[in-house]
């Protein structure tokens, strides 16, 4: 039984590391796709398309790895993650739509940027995750 558990623990660590690697690779690909056209390939459409395709593929890999990671968690950790993800999704949809409405109705001077929405969802997920861990501590 102990061997099985140490396998489970090492598998969890491996899944966490792999998720970190996939996330890092995806973030780097997003940075390349964002800054590459101006700084690296002078707005060459083919290069831009390739970098965006790479970003898409690495993103798909990251999503798949995130699913594996969550499936490998124990039931309490999975519940905490599920609650955090649902809060982040809800805040993202409600907050994102309100932000878009502010832009459409010209209440805010600048255009609505999707990066703010990504930051909002990321921060919400992290805060909800920490709150969940504290609640079941």
Backbone angle region of 73, left / alpha / beta, with phi > 0 → left and psi within -120 to 50 → alpha: beta
C-beta of residue 91 within 8 angstroms of C-beta of residue 62: no
Q: Nearer to another protein by C-beta: 74 or 111?
A: 74
**Sign for the pseudo-dihedral over CA of 43, 45, 47, 53:** positive
Q: Nearer to another protein by C-beta: 43 or 136?
A: 136
Q: Which two tokens stand for residue 27?
A: 């973030």
x/- track of binding to another protein for residues 8-27 (CB under 8 A): x-------------------
Q: How many residues bind another protein (CB under 8 A)?
A: 15
| 3-class secondary-structure state, position 108 | coil
Selected range binding another protein among 38-46, 54-62, 75-83, 121-129, rule: CB under 8 A: 75-83
Q: Which two tokens stand for residue 47?
A: 């290069």
Selected range binding another protein among 16-24, 41-49, 76-84, 111-119, rule: CB under 8 A: 76-84
- Chain positions contacting another protein, by CB under 8 A: 1-2, 4-6, 8, 74-77, 79, 133, 135-137
């Amino acid at each position: 039984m102990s061997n099985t558990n140490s396998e489970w623990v090492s598998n969890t660590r491996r899944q966490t590391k792999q998720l970190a690697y996939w996330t890092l690779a995806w973030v780097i690909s997003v940075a390349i796709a964002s800054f590459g056209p101006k700084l690296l390939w002078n707005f060459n459409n083919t290069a831009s398309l390739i970098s965006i395709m790479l970003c898409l593929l690495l993103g798909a890999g990251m999503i798949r790895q995130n699913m594996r990671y969550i499936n490998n968690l124990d039931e309490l950790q999975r519940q905490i993650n599920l609650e955090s993800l649902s809060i982040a999704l809800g805040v993202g949809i409600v907050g994102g739509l309100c932000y878009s409405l502010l832009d459409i109705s010209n209440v805010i001077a600048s255009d609505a940027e999707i990066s703010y929405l990504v930051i909002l969802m990321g921060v919400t997920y992290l805060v909800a995750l920490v709150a969940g861990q504290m609640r079941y501590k």
